[in-house]
Structure 1
Amino acid sequence: MNWGLLLQLVLNGLIVGMLYGVVAMCFVLIYKSTQVVNFAQGEFLLIGAWVCWAFLVHMQLPFFIGFLLTLVFMMAFGVLLQVIVLRPLIGEPIISVIMVTIGLSIFFQALMKWIFGVSAESYPRVFDTEVITIGGLNIEFAYIMSLVISVVIMVAFYWFFKHSRMGLAMRATAFDQQVAQSLGISVKRVFAMSWAISAVVSATAGVVIGMVNGVSDALSVIGIKVFPAVILGGLDSIVGGVVGGLIIGVLENVAEFIDGQYLHVGNLYAIAPFYVLILILCIKPYGLFGTKDIERI
């Protein structure tokens, strides 16, 4: 057995899993505050990555300025999307809102193809060092930065929900919207803020992945790939989203190792997370950290 290769893949899986965890937190954030599963989450990564690429390539802006402008754009995008498209659906059946997010996913994919084309594009070189060696393992420097950014985002999420007024308002709204509104909390404002934060954080993940793999339609697939991580951790658990992301990230890479060394199936890397999804739904439908919903009949 090639232990060096396995260790390299596990390490890469942990780093990518942190990014999956960040995207999973965005799923959980929207679900906890609005009870909606956003199937356009992957398109938030795609839009953020393309917008940042346009700032860097077409406008020739320095990376950090282009990145900050991208975050501002995505915050405005998230708010406008919630206000214009989703707010009129408040009070409608959940399935109707979910179908709208699926429609938005298809629309945004087509829009990005129309604006930027179908070819993959590379980011300009951002860091002087592209690959660093740690303990004999080669790691993309952008992945190291993504690890740092992921940790910062997770700490920020923790502080935001524990200590900020808006974070407490979101927790109250997630618990009971009517009670939160009776306490003077603007539920509409909470909804808009949750979509804005989700768009900003997803765009951050999209830019990081784009720096390593380039920008293409494949970025939007990450939203679907992260869904097993969300179910595994628990649809209403921030911590569960992070843990689920780490597990799925490592699982993908271990599956790639087993497939390449022994099974030679060819696509085990892509389908392994969904086998786990089916297994978790059969054994533990609420996920590892999800809240069990007990109803009286």
Structure 2
Amino acid sequence: MAFFLEALFGGLMAGMLYSLVALGFVLIFKASGVFNFAQGAMVLFAALAMARFSEWIPIWTGIHSRFLANVMAFVLAAALMGIVAWLVERLVLRHLVNQEAVTLLMATLGISYFLDGLGQTIFGSNIYPINVGMPKDPLMLFERTFDGGVLLNLEDIYAGSVAALMVAALSLFFQKTATGRALRAVADDHQAAQSIGIPLNRIWVIVWFVAGITALVAGIIWGSKLGVQFSLTTVALRALPVVILGGLTSVPGAIIGGLIIGVGEKLSEVFLGPFVGGGIEIWFAYVLALVFLLLRPQGLFGEKIIDRV
């Protein structure tokens, strides 16, 4: 039972991180109706900015406090993601209003390659650490209940808690604010949203900035665990099944989908892996996503598409 609880908890923590990355996809899709292939590049670019700024700030300012250096690095990285959002709207999206979805899709693919190259040019291509003070010591619980107790990772607890707070804040943003409702209106119909006075350009800047902040938080968490390296772009690929499972238009779907994928990966690897030689954690999410594409393409919480003749 203790082994099961350890695997379950590990899956829940991984699922929250998947949900955080998946929210970036959902945010962009809800605002533009297009799948954002640049989300993985945004995670990497933001993490590189955070890692390098936290390294450079003590040199620039003489500050020796790691906490202050990290706070300033986060502010600078967030400001940089705001500049990226403004440039994306000004140089790309503004010229593609009311274009076909495939056109916007290819535009995000181009943005992805541009951010990959720009990040390498500005910040370098080595592996950089991010140290934001998350403890890496193990935590033993329920020693009196289970023989040997339940071994948990404190870093996973902190990471999962931060991801949960971010997810909750974004959910409230979409459901309770006028901007969140405007985002949904823009996703439904660009021309109709503009006709009722919704400033499409400003909405796109806001949503790309929020997606950039989401990418920054995800990049910090994954960078703290794995180091900032160019393989971080694959984190976005791990979130694709989450988006398919939960639905491209649903913030709650990204949350539930992430938890299902995270728990399913861990439990299947732990309990089924020994019987098939391991490796289930690598492909489990994609097989589950394929099943949903065949049986329920819109996902668990996505809007069902009804064609009227």
Q: TM-score, normalised by structure 2?
A: 0.87
CA RMSD of aligned residues (A): 2.1
1:45 is aligned to 43
User: What whole-Å deviation, never above 9, does each CA across 1:251-275 have from its counterpart, x for those lacking one?
Assistant: 222233246422214x322221111
1:235 is aligned to 248
The percent of aligned pairs where both chains have the same amino acid is 32
User: What whole-Å deviation, never above 9, does each CA across 1:9-30 have from its counterpart, x for those lacking one?
Assistant: 2211111111211221221111
Kindly indicate whether the alpha-carbon contact (under 8 Å) linking 1:142 and 1:208 is maintained by their aligned counterparts in 2: no
1:23 is aligned to 21
1:72 is aligned to 79
Secondary structure of the equivalent of 1:197?
helix
Give the direction of change, closer, same or farther, for the CA distance of 1:116–1:73 in structure 2 (3 Å limit): closer
Determine whether 1:81 maps to 2:79: no
User: What whole-Å deviation, never above 9, does each CA across 1:181-233 have from its counterpart, x for those lacking one?
Assistant: 22211112111111111111111111011111111112111111111110101
Secondary structure of the equivalent of 2:57?
coil
Kindly indicate whether the alpha-carbon contact (under 8 Å) linking 1:82 and 1:191 is maintained by their aligned counterparts in 2: yes
2:289 is aligned to 277
Matched length: 294
User: What whole-Å deviation, never above 9, does each CA across 1:67-97 have from its counterpart, x for those lacking one?
Assistant: 2332222122222222222221222221121
1:194 is aligned to 207
Deviation at 1:125, TM superposition (A): 6.1
Q: TM-score, normalised by structure 1?
A: 0.90
Deviation at 1:147, TM superposition (A): 2.1
| Consecutive unaligned residues in structure 1, runs of 5 or more | none
1:59 is aligned to 57
1:123 is aligned to 130
User: What whole-Å deviation, never above 9, does each CA across 1:28-61 have from its counterpart, x for those lacking one?
Assistant: 1111111010011111111111111011123236
Instruction: Name the larger-Rg structure.
Output: 2
* Equivalent-residue separation in structure 2 for 1:21 and 1:74 (angstroms): 20
Amino acid at match of 1:272: F
Determine whether 1:91 maps to 2:98: yes
Deviation at 1:289, TM superposition (A): 0.8
Amino acid at match of 1:279: V
Kindly indicate whether the alpha-carbon contact (under 8 Å) linking 1:63 and 1:126 is maintained by their aligned counterparts in 2: no
Give the direction of change, closer, same or farther, for the CA distance of 1:180–1:275 in structure 2 (3 Å limit): same
1:106 is aligned to 113
| Consecutive unaligned residues in structure 2, runs of 5 or more | 59-67, 143-148
Determine whether 1:213 maps to 2:226: yes
Give the direction of change, closer, same or farther, for the CA distance of 1:296–1:46 in structure 2 (3 Å limit): same
Give the direction of change, closer, same or farther, for the CA distance of 1:210–1:113 in structure 2 (3 Å limit): same
Amino acid at match of 2:232: L
* Equivalent-residue separation in structure 2 for 1:97 and 1:112 (angstroms): 22
Give the direction of change, closer, same or farther, for the CA distance of 1:28–1:129 in structure 2 (3 Å limit): closer
Determine whether 1:147 maps to 2:145: no
Kindly indicate whether the alpha-carbon contact (under 8 Å) linking 1:36 and 1:98 is maintained by their aligned counterparts in 2: yes
Please, which of 171, 193, 207 is the counterpart of residue 158 of structure 1?
A: 171
Amino acid at match of 2:228: V
Determine whether 1:175 maps to 2:188: yes
Deviation at 1:124, TM superposition (A): 3.3
Kindly indicate whether the alpha-carbon contact (under 8 Å) linking 1:40 and 1:223 is maintained by their aligned counterparts in 2: no
